Amino acid sequence: MLDYHLHLWPHGKRDKNPTLDQLNDYCELAIKNGVKEIAITEHLFRFAQVNDLMGGFFKQYPDSPVRDIMEQYWADHARADLDVYVEVALAAKAAGLPIVLGMEVDYYPGRMHEVSEFLAGYPFDVLLGSVHWLGAWPFDHVSNPAVMAEWDNFGIENAWSQYTTALEELADSKAVDVLAHPDLIKVAGHFPKVPEEFYDRMAESASKAGISAEVSSAGWRKPVVEPYPAPYLLRKFHEYGVPITTASDAHGLADVAFKAAEIKSYVKSVGYTSLSGFRNRQSYPVDV
Q: Which tens digit of pLDDT belongs to each residue from 53-77?
A: 998 999 999 999 999 999 998 988 8
Q: Buried (b) or exposed (e) across 170-202, using 16+ Cβ within 10 A?
A: bbebebbbbbbbbbbbbbbebebeebeebbbbb
> Are 263 and 221 in contact, with CB atoms under 8 Å apart?
no
**Residue 79 pLDDT grade (very low, low, confident, very high; cuts 50, 70, 90):** confident
Task: For CA atoms 119, 283, 248, 136, give the dihedral sign.
Answer: positive
Domain map of the chain by residue range?
2-287
Non-local (6+) Cβ contacts of 124 within 8 A are: 101, 102, 103, 281
Distance CA 31, CA 2 (A): 10
Q: Provide, rounded to the nearest whole percent, the portion of the chain with pLDDT above 90.
A: 92
- What tens digit of pLDDT does each residue of 166-204 get? 999 999 999 999 999 999 999 999 999 999 999 999 999
What is the value of pTM for the model shown? Answer: 0.96
Alpha-carbon span 56 to 173, nearest angstrom: 22
Q: Tens digits of per-residue pLDDT, 80-121? A: 999 999 999 999 999 999 999 999 999 999 999 999 999 999
pLDDT at 76: 85
2-287: CATH, from 3.40.190.10, 1.10.3330.10, 3.30.465.10, 3.20.20.140? 3.20.20.140
Question: Could you write out the three-class secondary structure of 217-284?
Answer: CHHHHCCCCCCECCHHHHHHHHHCCCCEEEECCECCHHHCCCCHHHHHHHHHHCCCCEEEEEECCEEE
The pLDDT confidence band at residue 17, using thresholds 50, 70 and 90, is: confident
* Spatial contact of 101 and 77, defined as CB atoms under 8 Å apart: no
CA distances from 79 to 47, 60, 71, 112 (A): 5, 22, 14, 21
Question: Is residue 15 over pLDDT 80?
Answer: no
- The mean predicted confidence, pLDDT, of the chain is 96
Residue closest to 209 by CA, chosen among 257, 175, 174:
174
Give the pLDDT mean for 27-39.
97
Confidence of residue 158 (pLDDT cuts 50, 70, 90): very high
* CB contact at 8 A, 3 and 248: yes
Measured N-to-C along each axis, helices 20-32 and 82-94 cross at an angle, to the nearest 10 degrees, of: 60
Question: Angle of helix 195-209 relative to helix 231-239, nearest 10 degrees?
Answer: 30
Burial of residue 72 (number of CB atoms within 10 Å: 0-12, 13-18, 19+): exposed
Q: How confident is the model at residue 78 (pLDDT cuts 50, 70, 90)?
A: confident
Provide the β-strand partners of residue 102.
Answer: 41, 126
What does each C-alpha distance from 233 to 76, 110, 184, 260 come to in angstroms? 35, 27, 12, 19
